[in-house]
Amino acid sequence: MNPFGSIYYHWNVNLLGKAFLRFQRLRAEQRAGRPSGWKSEYLSPPLGMTTRLTELISRHYLEGRYANYHRKVAWVTSGGPVEFLKALGFFTLYPENHGALCGARKKVIELSSAAENEGYSRDICSYARTDIGSVLSGKTPVGRLPRPDLLLCCTNICQTVLHWYCVLAHYFQVPLVLIDTPFIYGEVTEHAVTFVKKQFEEAVTVAEKVMGRSLDNRRFRETMEMSAEAARLWMQVMERGKHRPAPISAIDEFIHMAPIVEMRGEAVTVEYYRALLAELDDRIAKGIGAVKNERKRLLWDNLPIWYRIRYLSELFAENGITIVASTYTNAWGELAHLIDPERPLESIAQLYIHPILNRGTGYKLETMKRMIEEYQVDGVILHSNRSCKPYSVGQIDQRERLVQEQGVPALLLEADHNDPRAFSEEQAVNRLAAFIEVLGETGDN
């Protein structure tokens, strides 16, 4: 890389940028500590680690803004392998994470419209439309996205990502690596694992060529160790929701999951979740719940509704309801046991073939049944997500089975995880109100 570019990077990122973001965090922590800083009648004050999370995410996108001056960049699907790319020294960006951020900041209509005006249908995943629109328009709430030197797409979450990344590869004229994971209907066969492992071996070769160096096996194992530790800690964070009252809600987890998705394999992610876990244990010791007067506990299925996340949080809290668990956040921790740093390629072949969206609907149903018991859940909300058909398929049958076999109320809530144009406010409010009324009739625990 250009030495002057590296100087420019370090000046803007490591000197000015990080100092400014740290200053912002310290100011935010001071404001949060004032007695008048939080006035919600139903929700406890936000977790103290939220300000550190804001700093961490801001630093990540700050590094991305200047990354092209200093290092190679890889764009990766959220279900894609990141460990060997991190070990090689790539800066990695997940377009889905960027799409979620755009959804939370209510920028999706503007960005999606830029893609739709170029002929992309509104039937396409709203994450894909958001990011394609961002690429075409050059607009993003994070200032600037780095240009990729490599694209890595893994089909273990859906087939849309393949077509999405083909669009990106055509636009940027850079190599596209495809990891095609066989769908799991029952048990994983040795043939399937070998098939995926060989693809990873080929992916490493391409990445080495783009980077201009060979993969350091010691560094690869270290990255795998940090990825495994972060996943274990994240699982422990979520399991703290089993306590009554739950010190963290799934709505909190939707926000705090950002590092485990986009910054796996980094020491800062391990440090962050250790500190978050310590704060949750302190809340448990003091009897502080995410919702001040927790009476009912829910399980959420599918992605969050990013543009209504605060509204939902306040609505449920007002009714004494905590969403204590989510199949979505659980997916980023439940496979930690498959990570073996001593067998990195075999390990990631197993790891990335097993995500919940690459398995049959029966597996998700059994996962929800287990979580209902473990988290002492009183009801389930299944988000029928217009944009994520693989996650939504089978939900009607799953809802009926949960009602009949688990004896818990279950609501099918139609929306879109990122595009507010596919969300009927009046219909959602009415259905949620009716569901909350049904929960109240089941009697308090």
In a domain, 193, yes or no: yes
Domain count, the chain: 1
In a domain, 37, yes or no: no
pLDDT (0 to 100) of residue 186: 86
Q: Write the burial class of residue 125 (CB in 10 Å: 0-12 exposed, 13-18 middle, 19+ buried).
A: buried
For every one of its 445 residues, what pLDDT tens digit does the chain have, with 9 covering 90 and above?
667 788 888 888 888 888 888 888 888 877 765 544 566 789 999 999 999 999 999 999 999 999 999 999 999 998 888 999 999 999 999 999 999 999 999 999 999 999 999 999 999 999 999 999 999 999 999 999 999 999 999 999 999 999 999 999 999 999 999 999 999 998 899 999 999 999 999 999 999 999 999 999 999 999 999 999 999 999 999 999 999 999 999 999 999 999 999 899 999 999 999 999 999 999 999 999 999 999 999 999 999 999 999 999 999 999 999 999 999 999 999 999 999 999 999 999 999 999 999 999 999 999 999 999 999 999 999 999 999 999 999 999 999 999 999 999 999 999 999 999 999 989 999 999 999 999 987 765 5
Q: For 229-263, give one letter per residue: b (16+ CB within 10 A) or e.
A: bbbbbbbbbbbbbebbbbbbbbbbbbbbbbbbbbb
DSSP-derived secondary structure letter, 177: E
In a domain, 172, yes or no: yes
In a domain, 39, yes or no: no
In a domain, 99, yes or no: yes
pLDDT (0 to 100) of residue 39: 66
pLDDT (0 to 100) of residue 27: 85
Chain-centroid distance of CA 29 in Å reads 25
Handedness of CA 313, 316, 318, 321 (dihedral sign): negative
Could you tell me the two tokens for 92?
A: 């990695």
pLDDT (0 to 100) of residue 358: 96
For helices 108-116 and 95-104, angle between their N-to-C axes, nearest 10 degrees: 120
Peptide bond into 259 cis (omega under 30): no
In a domain, 38, yes or no: no
Question: Is 114:136 a contact under the CB 8 Å cutoff?
Answer: yes
Q: How many CB atoms lie under 10 A from the CB of residue 227? A: 28
Give the domain extent around 184.
3-31+44-441
Of 91, 84, 79, 77, whose CA–CA distance to 344 is shortest? 84
In a domain, 80, yes or no: yes
Helix, strand, coil share (%) of the chain residues, nearest 5: 60, 10, 30
In a domain, 36, yes or no: no
